[in-house]
């Protein structure tokens, strides 16, 4: 009987230790229009994590132009918008998924306040964002610079126009990153880029369509197979808007050509 009781006690202790070793995860996000909130909720559901919304003391409202003007002023003048106090204790979490819309190529200003007022030392931080054309790479770099004592892990970003594709992409992202269990297709690396063909140039042009923020010409491309079809990584150069013939700065444009669908760009890296 003593042996049985000892064994039961040992098993209980082992299970308790395993539970203690499991990382504690928080999904912390700011959402202006509700789009980033959809990504946050999908992450929280898959991770079984705690979740909290970042709420400005003074709402940005729903007027797009007013939000742009206020956001630009805060960014240019280094103004940190006041926030309602967080209910979550950052110090009690191991991994923090930090979400935001991209404004002016970086995280929305409420995130600047969080980075300046909360201690992320020793934490693993996973950025996630929504955007019109891009901003994951640039915003993650800025977070890394603001949080030198935290470990910034690869993040997830999605165009607001493609929000319906987020659930499947999030599932693959979390499995690939080892945050949740499950099998997923490991994507091959992009091969070395090569000059674009006329057919590939047509794919690029169709993907960017009339999107006003991209006015560029594809020069090189690399592609790889993905579960949905084929993904392209185009190197492009901004076209002159004054009718000249000198190409401008370089940009990278990711394009997804899903089977049976028109190609769409998924992210721009400038």
User: What are 44-94's pLDDT values in tens digits?
Assistant: 999 999 999 999 999 999 999 999 999 999 999 999 999 999 999 999 999
Q: Is the pLDDT of residue 219 over 90?
A: yes
In a domain, 5, yes or no: no
Q: Which of 5-14, 48-57, 217-226 has the lowest mean pLDDT?
A: 5-14
Q: Over pLDDT 90: what percentage of the chain?
A: 86
> Tokens standing for 104?
């002016």
pLDDT at 111: 98
**Do residues 54 and 172 both lie within one domain?**
yes
In a domain, 188, yes or no: no
Contact 263, 207 (CB under 8 A): yes
In a domain, 203, yes or no: yes
In a domain, 132, yes or no: yes
**Do residues 114 and 247 both lie within one domain?**
no
Task: Provide the residue range defining the domain that includes 76.
Answer: 20-176
**Do residues 111 and 238 both lie within one domain?**
no
- Span 229-266, pLDDT tens digits: 999 999 999 998 766 666 789 999 999 999 999 999 99
Q: How confident is the model at residue 5 (pLDDT cuts 50, 70, 90)?
A: very low
In a domain, 8, yes or no: no
> Tokens standing for 232?
């392209």
Coil, helix or strand for 19? helix
Provide the number of structural domains found in the chain. 2
pTM of this structure: 0.90
In a domain, 38, yes or no: yes
**Do residues 135 and 212 both lie within one domain?**
no
Tell me which long-range contacts 229-237 makes (C-beta under 8 A, separation of at least 24): 229/256, 229/257, 229/258, 229/259, 229/261, 230/256, 230/257, 231/187, 231/255, 231/256, 231/257, 232/200, 232/203, 232/204, 232/256, 232/257, 232/263, 233/190, 233/193, 234/196, 234/200, 234/204, 235/193, 236/204
**Do residues 172 and 199 both lie within one domain?**
no
Q: How many CB atoms lie within 10 A of CB 107?
A: 26
């Amino acid at each position: 009987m003593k042996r049985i009781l000892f064994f039961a006690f040992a098993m209980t202790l082992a299970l308790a230790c395993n539970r203690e070793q499991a990382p504690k995860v928080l999904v912390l996000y700011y959402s202006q229009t509700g789009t980033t909130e959809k990504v946050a909720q999908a992450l929280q559901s898959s991770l079984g994590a705690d979740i909290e919304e970042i709420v400005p003391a003074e709402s940005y409202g729903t007027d797009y132009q007013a939000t742009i003007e206020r956001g630009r002023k805060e960014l240019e003048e280094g103004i940190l918008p006041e926030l309602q106090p967080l209910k979550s204790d950052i110090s009690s979490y191991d991994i923090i998924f930090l979400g935001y819309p991209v404004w002016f190529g970086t995280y929305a200003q409420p995130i600047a306040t969080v980075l300046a007022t909360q201690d992320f030392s020793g934490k693993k931080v996973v950025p996630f964002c929504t955007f019109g054309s891009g901003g994951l790479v640039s915003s993650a770099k800025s977070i890394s610079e603001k949080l030198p004592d935290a470990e910034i892990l690869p993040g997830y970003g999605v165009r607001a126009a493609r929000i319906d594709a987020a659930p499947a992409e999030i599932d693959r992202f979390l499995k690939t990153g080892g945050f949740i269990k499950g099998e997923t297709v490991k994507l091959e690396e992009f091969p070395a880029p090569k000059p674009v063909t006329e057919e590939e140039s047509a794919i690029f042009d169709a993907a960017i369509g009339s999107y006003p923020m991209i006015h560029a010409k594809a020069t090189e491309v690399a592609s790889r197979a993905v579960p949905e079809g084929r993904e392209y990584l185009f190197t492009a150069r901004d076209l002159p808007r004054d009718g000249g013939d000198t190409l401008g700065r370089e940009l990278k444009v990711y394009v997804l050509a899903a089977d049976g669908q028109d190609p769409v760009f998924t992210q721009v890296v400038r």
